[in-house]
Chain A
Amino acid sequence: MEWLGLYNYWVVVVLMMTGFYVVIAQGNLIKKIVGLNIFQTSVFVFYISLAKLDGGTAPVYVEGTTAYTNPLPHVLILTAIVVSVALTAMGLALAVRVYEAYGSLEEDEINAQDEQDA
């Protein structure tokens, strides 16, 4: 059953599609940002699971060990986590601003107001 070894990717796909669904189907702006976060986490899990090596230990030097989990994806994801927080902060700031201007976080209400003004 060779294909059973691919289950980590399927977990990632399910998570990613959950986030994707939230982003495109939910009308609430804050909810969309939550969905974006789930999506990002799925990408992180994908990278970290790529780095995993059978029989490897955490990438901290230990006398006599030669098999380590790949440190490179860890570094990339370390950077990505911080960037994702920056993204969340920026998105939330925009959402707050939209709420101040429209009094609503719902996409359809905002659209309706825009059409009224036009």
Chain B
Amino acid sequence: MATVWIRNLFAATMLMGIFSLLAASLYVLLDAVDVALTEAAVGAGLSIILMLGALVLTTSKEKVRDTRHNLLALVVVLITGGALIYGTMDMPGFGDPEAPAHQHVSPRYTQESVDEIGIPNMVTSVLASYRGLDTLGEVLVIFVAGVGVLLVLGPGRYRRRPRGSGKAQE
């Protein structure tokens, strides 16, 4: 939570890494080992490297601002949060075997995927076989993001705006 208050963006980035790592350990506790592995590698590793790279290219100091608008934001956030808490009252309890999420296709995945696909890890069989099209979509998203980053950062380097550095104008 300290991430929100810290002004130094470098420290905020480090705290985000710790946050990711905590999330990964939470996933292990919740039996989601594959997700934990991905979160630890991608969330805590790759994301942080990206953030650090961006900080190198920009600045790690955040301006101290007055908290005038923040009151309105706080009210909006509290109202939304209250509505969401109210919404959870109808949700199935934590770990409830009767929950709708455990009823539809997942019994088939857990009971038959080993015979149908032949891979003991069910997450892998669902990812690569039953929902392989999703994974294709994911690869597409990554490709588009990569192209986007190249488009934004690549040629722009050599075509500086005539205004020069923004600080000089103030």
- List A residues at the B interface (Cβ < 8 Å): 2-3, 5-10, 13-14, 16-18, 20-22, 24-28, 30-31, 33-35, 37-38, 41, 44-45, 48-61, 66-79, 81-90, 92-97, 99-106, 108-109, 113, 116-117
* Size band of the interface chain B makes with A: 35 or more
Known contacts A34-B13, A81-B43, A96 near B123 by CB under 8 Å: no
B59 contact set on A, CB distance < 8 A: 99, 105
- List B residues at the A interface (Cβ < 8 Å): 1, 3-4, 9, 12-13, 16, 19-20, 23, 26-27, 30-35, 38-39, 42-43, 46-47, 50-51, 53-55, 57-59, 62-63, 65, 69-70, 73-74, 76-78, 80-81, 84-85, 88-89, 91, 93-97, 99, 101-102, 105-106, 109-111, 113-114, 120-123, 126-127, 131, 134-135, 137-138, 141-142, 144-146, 148-149, 152-153, 156, 160-161, 163, 165-167, 169-170
Q: Report whether A6 and B88 are in contact in the complex, using a CB–CB cutoff of 8 Å.
A: yes
Q: Report whether B30 and A49 are in contact in the complex, using a CB–CB cutoff of 8 Å.
A: yes
Q: Report whether A25 and B73 are in contact in the complex, using a CB–CB cutoff of 8 Å.
A: yes
